[in-house]
Amino acid sequence: MTTPLPPRPHTTPVATETDRRRVVFATIVGTTIEWYDFFIYAAAAGLIFGDLFFKPAGEGIATILSFLVVGISFLFRPLGAFLAGHFGDIYGRRVILMVTLVMMGVATTLVGVLPTYDAIGIAAPILLITLRILQGISAGGEWGGAVLMAVEHAPDRKRGIFGASPQIGVPLGLLLSSGMMALMTVIAPGDAFLSWGWRVPFLFSIVLILVGHFIRRSVEESPVFLEIAERKEQTKTPIVELFRRHGVLVLIAALMFAGNSAVGYMATGGYIQNYATAADGPLGLARGPVLWAVAGSAVTWLLFTAFGAAVSDRIGRRTTYLIGWLLLLVGLLPLFPLVNTGNIWFLFIGLALLTVGLGFTYGPQAALYSELFPASIRFSGVSISYAIGAILGGAFAPMIAAALVRTTGTTTSVVLYLGGMVLISLVATLVLRDRSGIALGPDHEAEQAVSPIRGMTRV
């Protein structure tokens, strides 16, 4: 009689330093390309899409409709998050990142060849909305996969700074999109910009797709997912499991992001660009300098995002966030007084001050979200929370701001609206416990299943 062999032990994959460097580089490049595509539309919406696609609605209403399309895309981000979360928790993080990159790039490139309202009538805004919806679905799936690839490869005590790599891609995307738009105002000034210059940044996306696809192909799958897959412990219905056990947590995490999203979309959503350059507005500044000022603020946002992430590794995610919300409230107060001077340098300073709080409440987000949810449903948890938070915060923030100024005649109403959103997020942060450094692997699902919500224990 033969003695049965003992079961083969599971081996936990360990990421090497080379793997980690490759993941950080690929995550930054990939998310930069994704957000370049997403923000290039928002910049065009604030500057020219009202005239090109919604002009029959009238000057002021055309701008609001243009921003409305920006917001509509956010409504489809949860769909992208649901799809990416479901398939990402079953098949892995890497494959989802490849799909979202291509989808976003194709939609952006097609906007660059889209006929305007004068050429094909009502079909033009309908096609524009359709392509923007595809961008929204892609953005909804991209962030969660990029976050988990970065954080799950990271050393336990450096999750904040490693998790900053997908976060840094957002200001880099803003920098690249604003810089491209500003460059085209120089190459194709005046009517040439309205005629063909605005199309070039969209068409440039096809080059970025090829670069991003090549880089992401070289990245290994997340060690946490490889371990789950080796054990054949993938959850068959991760979204059902997520809402059955963690529905309240998803809502709180979404509210935690809403304040950052609402304030951030004053620049990334095109509102400041429109407010400062509108011919019928109070300032009437030239497009080029305003775009360069926004690009400059993207640099300060990048720096404070990385700094905020590094600080969170030392003092914890929750404490860093609370500091960030206070900084954001302070930064809101001088924003419009500085912008309303009509001086381009003061406009830049106003935006730069705002990016201090934005960085502290965005840099640590990847690590914080990853530490909130159990490994088997983590992709679904972070993606869906982020997508819902984007809807509650940034989706319609530019449109709401434009409507408030149109109704009240003052930017004070916008500051009060944004301040209210920040306070909601501050309260949501206070509700959560700090989970910095919690083990992320599938061996620790029991520990991860303990609710991070104060007053609640196991779900």
pLDDT string in tens for the chain (459-residue length): 334 434 434 444 556 677 777 788 878 887 888 788 778 887 888 788 888 998 887 767 887 888 888 778 778 888 888 787 777 777 766 777 788 888 888 888 999 999 999 999 999 999 999 998 888 888 777 777 788 878 877 888 889 998 898 889 888 988 898 889 989 989 998 889 989 999 999 999 888 888 877 777 766 666 665 665 565 555 667 778 888 888 999 999 999 999 999 998 887 767 888 888 887 778 888 888 998 998 899 999 999 999 999 999 999 999 999 999 999 999 999 999 999 999 999 999 999 999 999 999 999 999 999 899 988 888 888 888 988 998 898 878 888 988 899 899 899 999 999 999 999 999 999 999 999 888 887 777 778 678 888 876 654
Q: What number does CATH give the domain 17-448?
A: 1.20.1250.20
Residue carrying structure tokens 């620049």: 267
What pTM does this model have?
0.82
Host H or E run for residue 380: helix 378-392
Q: Which amino acid is at 399?
A: M
Alpha helices in 112-233 (DSSP H): 117-120, 123-152, 159-187, 191-192, 199-203, 205-216, 223-230
Q: Looking at residue 450, what DSSP letter applies?
A: B
Greatest C-alpha distance within the chain: 92
Q: Looking at residue 409, what DSSP letter applies?
A: S
Domain residue ranges in the chain: 17-448
For residues 363 and 304, is the Cβ–Cβ distance under 8 A?
yes
Q: Give the Cα separation of 43 and 263 in Å (integer).
A: 16
Paired strand residues for 450: 458
For residues 133 and 38, is the Cβ–Cβ distance under 8 A?
no
